[in-house]
């Protein structure tokens, strides 16, 4: 009886020791698994934040006597010593290079350009509005002159009976299309991206070729037009996005707005708000509306929204000044033309009105 009782005591003690060992093992295993999951989840963070990430090699956490240093290239891993960094380098190299390239690309993409891709008028130095229509492109030098400056110059040359010349380089203006096209071809031979883009929009047969060459020369508008071509043709979405990004880097607010919409539709709201803010800084009003919605939904802070609003108002005021100057110049020119026409003899005015009525009348088939 005593033997059986002793046996039961030994058996009970053995079972207790086994359960204790299992509990200790499970506790240690859970801690190691938790540390590993924390590292991998943090290492996949899109913004490169390391937080409380442990050493990527040995898994030790940052303590009073242990300081973890970030990887200098990608900033997405931390190490407790140079030995751990060198040991882990073969495993980390590929991901490090990829992440470092992404970080560099994002720095370029989200850097605020000084102006839009249109720049300023080289004569009056006022910024071109992004919705500028029918600008004056000089075939001799490919410079874009605002309509206000062009009207004022034409008026001056007409009053002083001077030959019409380019307002920028003073080259004689072509008097016919036969003189106009060779000037642009000379600019294309000189690898002028503006001339290439202009010819691309005129000659449909060579549109893609000219736009591609202009894009290779970092013309933002050419990149944007290529993104439209790839999008409308349903071609590679990655190539379309690449051209949109290149156009945005060059200061194209509409291209950046479309990038922001893509990011928003993909659920990357932080990146979308950054794009919307930069586009609003260039005076693009639809981006400001998106920022208002983002602020209402809590995706952008009050300070960032206020800064974007102030920047938009400043740029919008400058563009309004440009439009006002152009409109005033054109109105004055039209008024002077109207006053001079009123001084013509009545018979000439009557003949002119008759011609205008003929051209405005519908084209009927005379055989009916």
Task: Please compute the mean of the pLDDT values over residues 208-220 and round it to a whole number.
Answer: 94
Separation of CA 203 from chain center? 27
Question: Does the pLDDT value for residue 80 go beyond 50?
Answer: yes
- Mean pLDDT across the chain, nearest whole number? 78
142 and 96 both lie in a single domain: no
Residue 218 above 90 pLDDT? yes
- Based on the structure, what is the number of domains in the chain? 3
- Triad 283, 121, 331: Cα angle to 5°: 85
Count of beta carbons in the 10 Å neighbourhood of residue 226: 25
What are φ and ψ of residue 198, in 5° steps?
A: -65, -45
Side-chain half-sphere CA neighbours of 189 within 13 A: 7
Residue 204 and residue 151 share a domain: yes
- Environment class of residue 54 by beta-carbon count within 10 Å: exposed (0-12), middle (13-18) or buried (19+)? buried
Q: Is the pLDDT of residue 104 over 90?
A: no
For residues 243 and 134, membership in a common domain is answered with: yes
* Predicted local confidence at residue 48, as pLDDT: 43
Q: Does residue 303 sit within a domain? A: yes
Is residue 301 over pLDDT 70? yes
Q: Is residue 326 assigned to a domain?
A: no
Whether the pLDDT of residue 220 is over 80: the answer is yes
- Prediction pTM value: 0.68
The answer to whether 48 and 26 have CB atoms below 8 angstroms apart is: no
Read off the DSSP letter of residue 136.
E
Is residue 344 in a domain? no
Q: Are residues 152 and 217 in the same domain?
A: yes
227 and 199 together in one domain: yes
248-271: b or e for each residue (b if 16 or more CB lie within 10 Å)? bbbbbbbbbbbbbbbbbeeeebeb
**Under a CB-based contact definition with an 8 Å cutoff, are residues 248 and 255 in contact?**
yes
Give residue 357's pLDDT.
54
Residue 291 lies in a domain: yes
Q: Is the pLDDT of residue 68 over 80?
A: yes
Q: Are residues 68 and 151 in the same domain?
A: no
The predicted-structure confidence for 158-205, as pLDDT tens digits, reads as follows 889 999 899 999 999 888 888 888 998 999 999 999 999 988 987 667
Domain assignment of residue 290, given as a range: 253-312
Q: For the domain that residue 159 is a member of, what is the CATH number?
A: 1.25.40
Same domain for 265 and 215:
no
pLDDT interval class at 315 (50, 70, 90): confident
Q: Within this chain, do residues 298 and 205 fall inside the same structural domain, yes or no? A: no
**What pLDDT shows up at residue 12?**
54
pLDDT band at 346 (very low <50, low <70, confident <90, very high): low
């Amino acid at each position: 009886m005593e033997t059986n009782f002793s046996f039961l005591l030994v058996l009970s003690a053995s079972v207790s020791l086994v359960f204790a060992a299992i509990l200790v093992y499970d506790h240690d295993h859970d801690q190691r698994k938790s540390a590993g999951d924390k590292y991998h989840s943090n290492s996949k963070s899109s913004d490169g934040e390391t937080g409380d990430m442990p050493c990527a090699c040995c898994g030790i956490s940052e303590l009073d006597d242990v300081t973890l240093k970030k990887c200098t290239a990608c900033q997405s891993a931390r190490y407790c010593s140079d030995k751990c960094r060198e040991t882990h380098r073969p495993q980390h190299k590929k991901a490090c290079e990829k992440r470092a390239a992404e970080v560099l690309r994002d720095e370029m993409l989200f850097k605020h350009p000084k102006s839009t891709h249109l720049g300023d008028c080289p004569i009056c130095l006022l910024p071109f509005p992004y919705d500028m229509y029918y600008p004056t492109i000089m075939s001799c030098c490919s410079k874009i002159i605002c309509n206000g400056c062009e009207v004022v110059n034409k008026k001056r040359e007409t009053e002083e009976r001077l030959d019409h010349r380019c307002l920028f380089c003073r080259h004689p203006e072509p008097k016919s299309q036969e003189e106009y096209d060779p000037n642009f071809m000379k600019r294309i031979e000189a690898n002028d991206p503006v001339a290439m883009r202009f010819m691309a929009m005129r000659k449909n047969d060579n549109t893609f070729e000219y736009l591609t060459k202009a894009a290779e020369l970092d013309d933002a508008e050419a990149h944007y037009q290529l993104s439209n071509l790839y999008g409308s043709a349903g071609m590679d979405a990655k190539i379309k996005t690449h051209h949109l990004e290149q156009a945005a880097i060059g200061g194209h607010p509409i291209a950046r707005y479309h990038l922001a919409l893509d990011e928003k539709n993909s659920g990357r709201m932080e990146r979308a708000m950054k794009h919307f803010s930069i586009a609003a800084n260039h005076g693009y009003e639809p981006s400001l509306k998106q920022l208002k919605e983002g602020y209402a939904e809590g995706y952008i802070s009050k300070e960032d929204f206020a800064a974007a609003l102030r920047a938009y108002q400043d740029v919008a005021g400058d563009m309004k000044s440009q439009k006002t100057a152009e409109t005033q110049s054109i109105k004055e020119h039209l008024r002077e033309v109207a006053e001079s026409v009123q001084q013509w003899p009545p018979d000439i005015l009557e003949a002119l009105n008759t011609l205008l009525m003929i051209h405005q009348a519908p084209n009927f088939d005379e055989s009916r």
